[in-house]
Amino acid sequence: MTTASHPARDFHVTHELVRAGSMGMGVVFLLLGVLAFVPGLTTQYGSLAFASGSEALLFGVFQVSILLNLVYLVVGAAGVIMSRDSKGARNFLLGSGALFLIMWIYGVVINLDSTANFLSFNAAGNWMHLVLALVAGAVATAHIARTRGGGQSTNT
């Protein structure tokens, strides 16, 4: 009788997966940035401000401002561009993961009703930033562990 290996044990983050992760995260950020400018998808659209004081809510949940939308658009474009090779994709995932982790920490530490909230965060947006940071960081870290460990691959 033979035994098959457990499929989870054979899971690894390949160069293609890290590139797809970078492309996917880039598209998500681009969509966040673009959709937040669409009336109807963004409630209280008339109160959309450049920075602090914006009361606009993407999908009625995530507080957005023009500046925050621009951050999403720039990060999204970087993700799409950097997904061309696995090293760029990994660096994008690490960088965007770090950026959104910092944004989450900043959003948790500040008083959301103060002028320090210059990007117009709310609690829902803060938690979304944490989830995005963890996903990006996990894919990048798994890829680093895979390529630096015994499972090196030269595929791009």
User: pLDDT tens digits, residue range 13-70?
Assistant: 688 888 999 999 999 999 999 999 999 999 999 999 999 889 999 999 999 999 999 9
User: pLDDT tens digits, residue range 82-123?
Assistant: 999 999 999 999 999 999 999 999 999 999 999 999 999 999
How would DSSP label each residue in the chain?
Answer: ---PPPGGGG----HHHHHHHHHHHHHHHHHHHHHTTSBTTEETGGG--SSTT---EETTTEE--HHHHHHHHHHHHHHHHHTTSHHHHHHHHHHHHHHHHHHHHHHHHS-TTSTT-TT---HHHHHHHHHHHHHHHHHHHHHHHHHHTT------
The pTM of the full predicted model, rounded to 2 decimals, is 0.83
Domain coordinates in residue numbering, the chain: 14-147
